[in-house]
Amino acid sequence: MSTPTDALQRLRRVHEDAVLSALRSAGALSRAQLTERTGLSRTTLFAIVSDLMERGAVIETEAAPAEPRGRGRPATLVSLNPAAGLLLGLDLGRGRVRLAVANAAHQVVATASAGLPEGTGPLEQAEAAVRLVREVAAERGVGLGALEAVGLGLVGVVDEHVPAVTLTGPGAATGRTTPASPASGEPGPGAARVPARYLPLVLRVAEEFGVRVAVDNNARLAALAEATWGVARPVRDMVYVRWSVGVGGGFLSGGRLLRGAHGAGGELGHVSLDPAGPPCHCGGRGCLEGRIGGQRLLDACAARGVPLANLDALVTAAQDRVPAVCAVVAEAAADLGRVLAGTVTQLDPALVVVGGELAALGSLVLDPIRDAISGQALPRSPRQIEVTQADLGVNASAMGAIALLLHEEPSIPAHLRPAIP
C-alpha cells in the first residue's frame, strides 16, 4: 500500500535523478545552473544537493579563478564524486566463485574467479568470496572504500521480494537482523531481502564490506547481464537459457526480469519431459536438467564408447566433430528445443539466447533449437524469433549481479544507473 511518505520518497528520488543526470551530462555545475537545468525550486535543489553530499554521491569544488564573477565571490560547483560508486558482483555457483567490479561509469574494471571444493557450504562460499575480493583489491589497486553495494548471484530459488529477512547496512555490520513487515513496502536504503537459508552467507558479505547487498538467482542474473551489456541489449523480451553442468534460465518481459511469485521464475531445467522419468534433486521426475545436464551428457558419451573427463573435454570433442559426441549433443539440444518451444509459445520473445559452456558449439546446439521453435511454437504466426549464442561468457552472472544493482535496487543513487538514451 502506498502512503504519503512513500510518495514523498519517490518524489525525492525523481528530484535526485534530475540533479544527478544533469551532473552526469554536463560535468560540474553551480547550484544556480542546476536550478535552471532541473527546473527545481531553489529550496528543493539546495536540500537535494546537501543530502547527496552527505551521502558522498556528489562533491563541491571551486570554479576556476578565470571565471569572472560579478560580486567577487568564487562560484562553488557541484560534481559527481569520482571516488564513489564501485559496484561488486559475486557469483557463488557450483564449485566456483566469480567476481566482477564496475566503476562509477559502469565499466567492468576487474574480473576474477576461484575454485571451491565439492560440497562447500554457504558460509565457506562467503569466506572464499571475501578472500577473492580482498586478493583482487590488493593486486589490482581497487579501493574498496569506494564500494557502494554488492550484488550476489546464488544457485536455486532466490526470491528478493518475499520479505523473509531485511538486513540494514549498519545493522548487518553488527549481525542484527529484523523481520520485514509485509506492510512496509519497498526496502529502505541499505536493505536487501533474502530467504532464510542464505542469511548467514549474505550477513557475512554485508558484515565484511559494510554495504547493502542484493541477491538473485545466478542464471537470471546472466540473463540480465546479456540484456545490459550483451547480445540482448536491443530487445525487451528475451528468453535466456544457460546450458552447463545444470540448466537454468531467465526471462525478460517488457525489459523486466521475471522472478515469479516464489522466486522460481526461469527454472527451465526443471520442466519435466517425462513424469515417470528418473527423480530429480528438485523433487520432480524426468526434468530437462536430468536429461541434458553436463553429467548426463558425459554418461551418454561414455555409453557410446567415448569416455570424457569433463564438460570442457566434451565441448572440445564436439568441436573436433567426434560423431558420437556430436550425436549426443544434437539429441540433447533437440530436447532443450522442445522445452524452449513451449516457453516461446507462452512468452513471445524477440530473442532466445543460449549461454553456458554448451553454447560455444554454435550451430550444433542452436540449429536443433531453431528447428524446434519454428516447428512447434505457433508455426503459422509470422514472427521473427532469433536464436543466438550469448556474448558474455563465464563472467555473465557476476556482471549480472552488478546489473541488478544498476537496474533494480531502488536505493542506488541515480548517477550509478545507466543513462537512458
Q: Under the rule (CB under 5 A), what is the footprint of Zn ion?
A: 270, 280, 282, 284, 287
Q: N- to C-terminal Cα distance for the chain?
A: 32
Give me the least distance between CB of 280 and Zn ion, in Å please.
3
Select from 241, 156, 145, 229 the least CA-distant residue to 195.
156
Give me the least distance between CB of 281 and Zn ion, in Å please.
6
| Contact call for residues 387 and 268 (beta carbons, < 8 A) | no
Q: Cα–Cα distance between 181 and 349 in angstroms, integer?
A: 36
Give me the least distance between CB of 293 and Zn ion, in Å please.
10
| Contact call for residues 54 and 363 (beta carbons, < 8 A) | no
Look-up of cell digits 542506488: 412
| Contact call for residues 104 and 87 (beta carbons, < 8 A) | no
Beta carbon nearer to Zn ion, 284 or 342: 284
Residues in CB range of 412: below 8 A, 6 or more apart = 148, 149, 405, 406
Give me the least distance between CB of 253 and Zn ion, in Å please.
23
Query: Judging by beta carbons within 10 Å of its beta carbon (0-12, 13-18, 19+), is residue 353 exposed, middle or buried?
Result: buried
Beta carbon nearer to Zn ion, 185 or 284: 284
Beta carbon nearer to Zn ion, 291 or 415: 291
CA distances from 272 to 12, 217, 261 (A): 47, 20, 20
Beta carbon nearer to Zn ion, 343 or 411: 343
Give me the least distance between CB of 282 and Zn ion, in Å please.
3
Give me the least distance between CB of 274 and Zn ion, in Å please.
11
Beta carbon nearer to Zn ion, 273 or 326: 273
Beta carbon nearer to Zn ion, 122 or 284: 284
